Amino acid sequence: MNRRTMYTGLALALIYLLVHGLQAFGLLLSYHVQILSLACINIILVVSLNLINGFTGQFSIGHAGFLAVGAYSSAYLTVTFHTPFFVALLVGAIFAGIVGLIIGLPALRLKGDYLAIATLGFGEIIRVIILNTQAVGGARGFSGIPNYTTFGNSYLLAILTVFVIRNFVNSDHGRACLAIREDEIAAESLGVHSTYFKTLAFSLGAFFAGIAGGLFSHYLQYMAPTSGQIGFMKSIDILIMLVLGGLGNITGSVIAAVVLTIVPELLRGFAEYRMVIYSIILILVMIYRPDGLLGGRSLGYARLKNSIEGVKAHASHK
Amino acid sequence: MNWYVIGLQQLINGLALGSVYALIALGYTMVYGIIKLINFAHGEIYMLGAYLGFYAITSLNLSLVPAMVLAMVSAAIIGMLLERVAYRPLRSSPRIAVLITAIGASLLFQSTAQLVFGASFKPFPQAIPFTRIQLGPVFTTNRQLLIFGVAVALMIALHIIVQYTTFGKAMRAVSMDKDAAQLMGINIDRVISITFALGSALAAAAGILVGMYYNRIDPYMGTMPGLKAFVAAVLGGIGIVPGAVVGGLLMGVAENMVVAFVSSTLRDAVAFAILIAVLLFRPNGLLGKNRTEKV
Amino acid sequence: MLATNNLQVNDLCVNFGGLQAVNKVSFSLKPQSLGALIGPNGAGKTTVFNALTGLCRVSSGQIEFGNEHIANQPAHYIARRGIARTFQNIRLFKNLTVLDNLRIAYHQNRQYPLLSAIFLTTKFRQEEKQITAKAEEALSLVNLSERSQSLAGSLPYGEQRRVEIARALMLNPHLLLLDEPAAGMNPQETQTLLQLIRDLRDNLKLSILLIEHDMKLVMNLCEELFVLDYGQLIAAGCPKTVQNDPRVIQAYLGGKTA
């Protein structure tokens, strides 16, 4: 283990202790800690969508569909069979991953906006299926889900998600995905089996969205098959966080997920203005900062150095 | 009642609904044909059209036809503004950036409408008295006939514009090859603007027709019909004007049939099932030709 | 083993809709030879490359490489069989560093499994080091070591072409297809390129087939020329023979009035 990993680990442990410490001293109410759990769930959602949209360059706007699969299947397990939470989470995530695979195989033949629309369609079909499944409450919603999600377990799973996806992106598998994003034809001509890697990224993203879903249902304790909770509007919520944090930028995803979870809670009085402001920011960001508010790739020394050298190289050859 | 009577009745209902989808789909298809953008905000223009019509009738005391004209003109201006402000700066950006902007614009219209008009629904004034017209075992209503009639008239008008006017020719040229069209002296910005105006006007008309048909309008009414009309455009072959009409009518009929014979909870799933089937098996749509990607 | 890696193309046809872009083209390329595909614009040269690398559908005919039929195999499969290429309009991954561009091309030789990468095992770290070393080596072959951390899209044109060649070399190919490698290069750069291509053939023992409009380069470098016109092979052979072929002269100078 090198020094950087150690420091990162220490910092993460400190954050955890800090939250619990502040809670013990009454500086954070349990309501605040709950919001932090929600932020962790959103981190998982945004980072996993980043793998699909940011790193692999596919455009999914149906991510909430996988959240729904994980949320309902894990809740069904804990409610009906009293399955231990982590087992239920894992099963829900695997189930979401399989659904991702089934959807990804045909859908990923499509590109760009066609793929976007197809994922939207699949997402809505998942919602309609849930709406028609009486075992999980159908249109009435699914109630009586145990309150298993804590700050501790959602924090841990958020770290795990970031860790796995970051390492994936930095591996040869991740490079294959980046290559597909940059130029699928060139990637193929270099031996990258693009269908395989697109599907891999898609199912992996769906898997983690499934974990987030499991945490989400055991956080809310009640799931309603509405657009805002498991449908198109939820997908758009995740997408907004992703875009503002920057496509292909994990640090940005984490920051955006945390900020955009906490800020609306602080501004509850202005709830009806939230979407107006979000949408204006979204448009402005696309026009003036299409790489997101925090830039295209993860922040770091290497990136800074690269861009400086890139500018130099460019200038010296002008 | 026999199943074929139900079928026939649903065919009539489906054609009425389908002609609305077709009107909205025309806007999607024209815009896509010309700048390759799925204008996600198009469904919201349709919603705004319904509200404009609502206020024209209730506040300005206009009768149906002037109210519709006013709403169509205002929607056309909104559509042109949308293109000018949100889409034009991104014309050379990646498609994904434009698509996200379109989603943003859609959210903006919807949330603003919610603030301005209120989140709850409004009853749409009945500009013409309701009558039922019996046709043997099945029936239609004067509203259905009005929807169908207005839709057909507008489609014929659009067809004449696209096929027989200078503007139509310019529009077709731009959709075939933007650069070449520009070299021929066509003002691309103007053509794109007018295309948005035309599409938005048709959507506004559709909004008013639907408001009358269902007696109610609300700020979210644009989302689903917008998506379904988009599916209709894809079904017919996106970018192909007659395709939008065929796709819209088919969608309306298919949806009514499923609701009548299977289950009403599947109403919205029909569109997406059709969409996925089309994308996978005939991505260029029913009227589209196969094209190969150039390496 | 080397003898099996010759390229044999028989009656290759590629149709786009009604258009016959390539019409019954046959030729072969022996191992370690330097060949060029020449002909006027629109003759179908790039289409032949695309057919060879699986990027467009072959309508009929065979492509045999290393005793295997590869016509209409997927592009990634053909790349793994040892055919690498560059593109006429440079298809580097512009937003990635030069080094990453090259490391991606090592993909087919990567050994470690995904889990090894996720848990950052020693096997993963060691192999990543090897991949980086390999990429740096390939980069030094084209004299661009100092550019490894630059974004590929920020390099000048001539350097981008060389990065693309280095990237193709990361595949350890038996056959290298270069689509207009000298386009946009100044005479000096072209001279370096000529030497580079020779060195690659001699040192790495691979065959190279190139498309090029710079006749001086082609005549200096290549042993075998294949001339395409309107999708058909109108001449083949050593530079001297082809140069004096009346059909070739006609194709280049026009005069099809007869």
Percent of chain B residues past pLDDT 90, beyond the cut: 44
Residue A182: the pLDDT is: 93
Asked if C50 is an interface residue toward chain B (Cβ–Cβ < 8 A), one would say yes
Indicate if the pLDDT at residue B84 is higher than 90. Answer: yes
Give tens-digit pLDDT for A3-21.
Answer: 788 888 899 999 999 988 8
Q: Other C-beta atoms within 10 Å of C89: how many?
A: 9
Shortest CA distance from B114: residue in chain A: A272
**Does residue A111 sit in helix, strand or coil?**
coil
Tell me the C-alpha distance between A291 and B144, whole Å: 48
For every residue of B40-78, DSSP letters joined together read TTHHHHHHHHHHHHHHHHHTS---HHHHHHHHHHHHHHH
With 0-12 CB in 10 A as exposed, 13-18 as middle and 19+ as buried, what is A225?
buried
- Give the mean model confidence (pLDDT) for residues B102-122: 92
Chain B neighbors (3+ CB pairs < 8 Å): A, C
Tell me the C-alpha distance between C78 and C70, whole Å: 7
| Facing residue for B276 by CB, picked from A112, A122, A283 | A122
Tell me the C-alpha distance between C105 and C172, whole Å: 9
With 0-12 CB in 10 A as exposed, 13-18 as middle and 19+ as buried, what is A109?
middle
Question: Do C55 and B292 lie within an 8 Å CB cutoff?
Answer: no
Question: Do B100 and A118 lie within an 8 Å CB cutoff?
Answer: no
Where are the alpha helices (H) located in A170-300, listed in sequence order?
A: 172-182, 184-189, 194-220, 227-230, 232-245, 250-266, 271-288
Q: Which of C25, C53, C155 is nearest to C99 (CA)?
A: C155
Length of chain A: 318
Residue A299: the pLDDT is: 42
- Give the mean model confidence (pLDDT) for residues B30-48: 91
Task: Give which of A2, A6, A166, A172 to mutate to test C binding, by max C Cβ within 10 Å.
Answer: A172
Q: Which of B35, B71, B26, B74 is nearest to B237 (CA)?
A: B26
Indicate if the pLDDT at residue A301 is higher than 60. Answer: no
Q: Which residues of A179-205 are buried (b: 16+ CB within 10 A; e: fewer)?
A: bbbbbbbbbbbbbbbbbebbbbbbbbb
Where are the alpha helices (H) located in chain C, listed in sequence order?
A: 45-52, 75-80, 98-104, 114-118, 122-141, 157-169, 187-204, 215-221, 239-244, 246-253
- Give the mean model confidence (pLDDT) for residues B229-235: 91
Q: Which amino acid is at A225?
A: P
CA angle A49, A42, A62 (to 5 degrees): 40
Q: Which of A64, A43, A68, A53 is nearest to A243 (CA)?
A: A53
Question: Do B283 and A114 lie within an 8 Å CB cutoff?
Answer: yes
Structural domains in chain B, CATH included, are 7-121+140-281 (1.10.3470.10)
Question: Do A290 and B272 lie within an 8 Å CB cutoff?
Answer: no
Shortest CA distance from C88: residue in chain B: B295
Residue A109: the pLDDT is: 85
Most confident of A56-60, A263-267, B142-146: A56-60
Q: Do A152 and A160 contact (CB within 8 A), yes or no?
A: no
- Sign of the four-CA dihedral C116, C121, C122, C128: positive
Chain A positions touching B272 (Cβ under 8 A) are 120-122, 124-125, 128
- Give the mean model confidence (pLDDT) for residues A21-37: 89
**Does residue C24 sit in helix, strand or coil?**
strand
Tell me the C-alpha distance between A264 and A256, whole Å: 12
- Give the mean model confidence (pLDDT) for residues A247-275: 88
Residue B177: the pLDDT is: 86
- Give the mean model confidence (pLDDT) for residues A228-256: 91
Tell me the C-alpha distance between C158 and B81, whole Å: 44
- Give the mean model confidence (pLDDT) for residues B236-252: 90
Q: Other C-beta atoms within 10 Å of C151: how many?
A: 24
pLDDT confidence tier of residue A45, bands split at 50, 70 and 90: very high
Asked if A236 is an interface residue toward chain B (Cβ–Cβ < 8 A), one would say yes
55-74 in A: which are within 8 Å (CB) of B? 59, 61
Indicate if the pLDDT at residue A150 is higher than 90. Answer: yes
Length of chain B: 295
Both tokens of A234, joined, read: 């939820």
Tell me the C-alpha distance between B279 and B282, whole Å: 6
**Does residue C36 sit in helix, strand or coil?**
strand
> Taking all residues of chain B, what is their mean pLDDT, rounded to a whole number?
89
Q: Distance (Å) from the C-alpha of residue B111 to the closest C-alpha of chain C?
A: 36
Tell me the C-alpha distance between C200 and C188, whole Å: 19
Q: What is the pLDDT along chain C (258 residues), one digit of tens a residue?
A: 444 568 999 999 999 878 889 999 999 998 889 999 998 888 899 999 999 999 999 999 999 998 899 999 999 999 999 999 999 999 999 999 999 999 999 999 999 999 999 999 999 999 999 999 999 999 999 999 999 999 999 999 889 999 999 999 999 999 999 999 998 888 888 999 999 999 999 998 899 999 998 888 898 899 999 999 989 999 899 888 888 888 888 877 765 443
Q: Distance (Å) from the C-alpha of residue B293 to the closest C-alpha of chain C?
A: 9
Residue A300: the pLDDT is: 43
How far out from the chain centre does Cα C30 lie? 15
Give tens-digit pLDDT for A158-202.
Answer: 999 999 999 999 999 999 999 999 999 999 999 999 999 999 999
Question: Do C100 and A178 lie within an 8 Å CB cutoff?
Answer: yes
Residue A266: the pLDDT is: 82
Chain B positions touching C55 (Cβ under 8 A) are 295
| Distances from the Cα of C229 to the Cα of C21, C39, C46, C232, angstroms | 10, 6, 12, 5
Q: Distance (Å) from the C-alpha of residue B105 to the closest C-alpha of chain A?
A: 7
Structural domains in chain C, CATH included, are 29-57+71-82+173-258 (3.40.50.300), 94-171 (no CATH)
For every residue of B122-191, DSSP letters joined together read EEPP-SS---EEEETTEEEEHHHHHHHHHHHHHHHHHHHHHHHSHHHHHHHHHHH-HHHHHHTT--HHHH
Question: Which uninterrupted H or E stretch holds C34?
Answer: strand C34-38
Q: Distance (Å) from the C-alpha of residue C148 to the closest C-alpha of chain A?
A: 10
Establish, for the pair of chains B and C, how many residue pairs have beta carbons separated by less than 8 Å.
Answer: 8
Chain B positions touching C46 (Cβ under 8 A) are 295
pLDDT confidence tier of residue A303, bands split at 50, 70 and 90: very low
Both tokens of A298, joined, read: 């993860």
ipTM: 0.91
Tell me the C-alpha distance between A114 and A143, whole Å: 36
Hey, what CATH class is A33-316 in? mainly alpha
Q: Which of A133-137, A143-147, A272-276 is predicted least confidently?
A: A272-276
Establish, for the pair of chains A and B, how many residue pairs have beta carbons separated by less than 8 Å.
Answer: 115
Both tokens of C215, joined, read: 């006749």
Residue C85 contacts by C-beta under 8 Å, 6 or more apart in sequence? A189, C49, C52, C53, C168, C176, C177, C178, C179
Please report how the helices A3-24 and A151-169 are oriented relative to each other, as an axis angle in degrees rounded to 10: 160
Q: How many CA atoms lie within 13 A of C253 on its CB side?
A: 9
187-226 in A: which are within 8 Å (CB) of C? 187-194
Give tens-digit pLDDT for B157-210.
Answer: 998 998 899 999 998 898 888 888 888 888 999 999 999 999 999 999 999 999
Per the DSSP assignment, residues forming a β-bridge with C62 are C10
- Sign of the four-CA dihedral A16, A17, A20, A26: negative
Give tens-digit pLDDT for C11-39.
Answer: 999 998 788 899 999 999 988 899 999 98
Chain B positions touching C16 (Cβ under 8 A) are 292
**Does residue B216 sit in helix, strand or coil?**
strand
Residue A160: the pLDDT is: 96
Question: Do B295 and C16 lie within an 8 Å CB cutoff?
Answer: no
Q: Which of C161, C37, C184 is nearest to C90 (CA)?
A: C161
Residue B130 contacts by C-beta under 8 Å, 6 or more apart in sequence? B141, B142, B143
Establish, for the pair of chains A and C, how many residue pairs have beta carbons separated by less than 8 Å.
Answer: 115
Indicate if the pLDDT at residue B41 is higher than 90. Answer: yes
Asked if C55 is an interface residue toward chain B (Cβ–Cβ < 8 A), one would say yes
104-133 in A: which are within 8 Å (CB) of C? none
Tell me the C-alpha distance between A118 and B222, whole Å: 19
